[in-house]
Amino acid sequence: MSNSENDGWNESAASWIASMGESGDFSRQFVLDAPMLARIKNRGFKSALDVGCGEGRFCRMLRDLEITTVGIDPTAALIARARERDPAGDYRVCTAEEMDVLPASFDLVVSYLTLIDITDIAHAAERCVAALRPGGTLLVANLTSFATANVNGWTTQADGRHRFHIDNYLDERAEWVEWRGIRIRNWHRPLSRYMSLFLDLGLILRRFEEPAPTGGDPEIVSRYRRVPYLYLMEWQKPPV
């Protein structure tokens, strides 16, 4: 997550913690966790940086794989919860744009559904790439840009059929989203914005995946398959 005075994260922290629990929401538990971990396990990663770690759920999963992990997030209440759940972990209050880590110090940098929260995405991307060692991996999970360009999401037509509407896809903008007592600001950007950022920083795209759900409420799964809203990308920093 990326935090400023008016992005909603401070006010939404308690609701976020309650919503995530230990297992995470549908997107994490049934769509993203398995493919994200598949890109990490048995790859020889020794050190990881989780950018926007929130309450530390994925950091704990990385540490379970015996990867030394630093989690950063600008929302103090979320970092406090991460430290409470994992007292031996390394959790720091800071933004992606201003992270205080040594250059070229991580084998793996993870952004797990956090790019959409970051205002200065260009600066944050530079910092993430700088934190990687040569040959290191940047692993990104993100909302699809078609989903973030939605107009009131799902609507019911006069004939009773459900449709998902998008508009102004090419216009980068901030939007407020609300669910389960959480109200935060997310950024819509075309997919080309993210792709161009990492390509221009010299990264090599190694994998692009739009994973299908592997469980969960059948009704939610059915709707997800109609309008998938998650993807992951694996980028590599060129070896020296």
For residues 52 and 72, is the Cβ–Cβ distance under 8 A? Answer: yes
pTM of the full structure: 0.94
Torsion of CA 40, 45, 51, 53, to 10 degrees: 70
Look at domain 9-236 and name its CATH class.
alpha beta
For residues 205 and 199, is the Cβ–Cβ distance under 8 A? Answer: yes
For residues 114 and 125, is the Cβ–Cβ distance under 8 A? Answer: no
Report CA 240 to chain centroid distance, whole Å: 28
> Would you state the pLDDT for residue 186?
95
Strands (E), the chain: 47-51, 68-73, 90-93, 106-112, 132-143, 150-156, 162-166, 173-179, 182-188, 204-209, 230-236
pLDDT tens digits in sequence order for the chain, 240 residues long: 444 558 999 999 999 999 999 899 999 999 999 999 999 999 999 999 999 999 999 999 999 999 999 999 999 999 999 999 999 999 999 999 999 899 999 999 999 999 999 999 999 999 999 999 999 999 999 999 999 999 778 888 888 888 888 999 999 999 999 999 999 999 999 999 999 999 999 999 999 999 999 999 999 999 999 999 999 999 999 998
Question: What ranges do the domains of the chain cover?
Answer: 9-236
CA-nearest of 140, 118, 143, 145 to 235 is 140
